[in-house]
Amino acid sequence: MSLANERIHKQDTRKKYCRFKKNGIKYVDYKDPNFLLKFVNEQGRILPRRITGTSLKFQRKVAQAVAKARHLALMPYVTDSLK
């Protein structure tokens, strides 16, 4: 049997959860850049839902909050080393 035909088993991965629903957060504050940095990678790009585990509703709110924070110069658009 060749390597192409063997099944690849995923490691033990925990189910991702929406931290907003778990903690009961209803509003994503654009004035809190330290919290928004958790949803941005080192280059300043917004992380996708499959990585952060947020729901679609709150992913949209996070994206809007990051855009607003960038517009108000609370967060940089791009950078070499953000974290």
The mean pLDDT of 34-47, rounded to a whole number, is 94
Buried b (16+ CB within 10 A) or exposed e, 41-70: eeebeeeebeebebeeebbebbeebbebbb
Domain count, the chain: 1
Residue 78 domain-assigned? no
Residue 7 domain-assigned? no
Answer whether residue 45 shows pLDDT above 70: yes
Answer whether residue 10 shows pLDDT above 60: yes
* CATH code of the domain covering residue 44: 4.10.640.10
Shortest CA distance to 23 belongs to which of 40, 33, 35, 12?
35
d(CA 56, CA 49): 7
Amino acid at 31: K
pLDDT of residue 40: 95
Domain span at 48: 19-71
Residue 54 domain-assigned? yes
Residue 32 domain-assigned? yes
- Compare 29 and 80 and report the one with higher pLDDT: 29
Residue 1 domain-assigned? no
d(CA 82, CA 10): 31
Residue 83 domain-assigned? no
